[in-house]
Amino acid sequence: MGHDPKASQLDDAAGTLATVSVLRSRDGTLNRSEDVLAVEMPVALEYNGISHVVMLASPADLEDFALGFSLTEGIIGSPAECYGIEPEQRPDGRLVHIEIASGRFAALKERRRNLAGRTGCGLCGTEALDQVTRVVDPVAHRHPVRPASMTAGMRAMQALQTMQQQSGATHAAAWMNEAGEVVCVREDVGRHNALDKLIGALAAQATDFTRGSLLITSRASYEMVQKAAIMGIGAIAAISAPTSFAVQLAEQAGVTLLGFMRDASYVVYAHPERLQME
């Protein structure tokens, strides 16, 4: 039986979904049908004309991705140091041109390293143990954390995951404001990318990261907690488990970390003193 694996793009504005011909088994019988897949492609980030990193990512919200990555990786210290972001469509992926302040670019050239494949592991390309961790100042979270609001926020986020609903293959990161409202959601095939996209979108709106909570549909890895803490986010709820390294960082950085946040159940791993039970 022949099988045509070639995918075709769906008519979504960002080209994030594709259809593929499949053989689907029901009751032991194979029938040909179509399936919807999340598009994954190489996305290269170029700073001031110099290539820096190639990631595998969803092609949506690349301006948010570039800004968020630049902030969480310490390439720039604020959105004001980013002068322009311009994605370019290439036959083999996307190239994002980023213009940053000359002082920041000079510092970047001093510490450049090969970071290809970062989506799978936060340490890929790291050359020495002392490059793994960065000093993160303790966060200054400015309001109590309400677990009931977080569980409601998780449900609200899932309803807004349009790529996940159609493909079943993407992660999401969402921002819940101090009032308990989910005000921004970003999706990507990679959990780190989804978080960078969210942070970029929020930073572009001058969001106060000390007044809100982060919701993620993945495990809370070290790098996810690190990216959040660098931005001053003091509360994270993950749908899955954290790692021991992530919990250690959350304790040190003053981040309230909740895992296995599903329905009305959850586990508190760090800084429970900020919780306000209802």
Q: Which residues are catalytic?
A: 121
Residue 273, CB-side half-sphere exposure with 13 Å CA sphere: 5
CB atoms closer than 10 angstroms to residue 91: 4
Beta-bridged to residue 42, according to DSSP, are 56
Beta-bridged to residue 162, according to DSSP, are none
**Which single residue is written with the structure tokens 């709106």?**
205
Residue 20: C-alpha distances to residues 3, 34, 91 (Å):
10, 6, 20
Residues 6+ apart with CB under 8 A from 88: 94, 95, 96, 97
**Residue 27 — left, alpha, or beta (φ > 0 → left; ψ -120 to 50 → alpha)?**
left
